[in-house]
Amino acid sequence: MKLKKSWRLPKMKNSYNTAFFFVLLLMMTACSQEPAEIHYGGEECNYCKMMISDERFASQIVTETGKAIKFDAIECMADYTEEHKSELTSAKFWVNNFSTPGNWIEVEKAQLIKSEVITSPMGAALLAVGSAESAKEHLKKYPGKIVDWQQVVK
């Protein structure tokens, strides 16, 4: 009795195919520039070394290789950016939405506010919201002014 040849690849080739798939998947996810999770109360700011505890003010830079550099305040991210500009040309800059903490916004799309009454962890009173409308609503309740990211990073 003669057995039919199987249409499946030999086991060795299946192993290589599977390994290749997982390496490819790992490479795709490792290079993501999406914001990373921050463990509030368990991670320190990469700039000032204070504990990151208030998610309303948290920010982060995600490099082109997917490395997340985390900060307790927007002003720490700005100071870090000033010192490491040449290393961050392809990085993405993220700020937490003050109005809905946990929702990250790319800094270029965010409305940054320098508040007159709300103090951020480092005292510069910087916070971010997701839209011009949100900024107007926030400023009706809490005096301050809208600032541009380029004004914050000197």
- pLDDT per residue as tens digits for the range 17-27: 666 655 555 55
In a domain, 72, yes or no: yes
How much of the chain is in helix, strand and coil states, percent to nearest 5?
A: 30, 20, 50
pLDDT tens digit sequence for 124-139: 999 999 999 999 999 9
In a domain, 20, yes or no: no
Query: From the CB of residue 54, how many other CB atoms can be counted at a distance below 10 Å?
Result: 16
Distance of alpha carbon 24 from alpha carbon 112, whole angstroms: 37
In a domain, 121, yes or no: yes
In a domain, 25, yes or no: no
47 vs 15, more confident = 47
In a domain, 117, yes or no: yes
Whether the per-residue pLDDT at 146 is higher than 80: the answer is: yes
Distance of alpha carbon 27 from alpha carbon 5, whole angstroms: 35
In a domain, 99, yes or no: yes
- Average pLDDT (85-105) is 96
- Average pLDDT (23-44) is 80
Total domains in the fold of the chain: 1
Distance of alpha carbon 71 from alpha carbon 59, whole angstroms: 5
Predicted pLDDT at 87: 94
Task: Give the DSSP per-residue string, 58-77.
Answer: -EEEE-TT--EEEESSHHHH
Choose the weakest-confidence range: 9-13, 28-32, 45-49, 135-139.
Answer: 9-13
pLDDT tier for residue 154 given thresholds of 50, 70 and 90: confident
* Strand bridging mode 111-115 / 126-129: antiparallel
In a domain, 84, yes or no: yes
Distance of alpha carbon 85 from alpha carbon 61, whole angstroms: 12
In angstroms, what is the C-alpha Rg of the chain? 22
Measured between its terminal Cα atoms, the distance across the chain in Å is 81
Domain encompassing residue 99: 59-152
In a domain, 52, yes or no: no
Distance of alpha carbon 76 from alpha carbon 150, whole angstroms: 14
Predicted pLDDT at 4: 60
Whether the per-residue pLDDT at 11 is higher than 90: the answer is: no
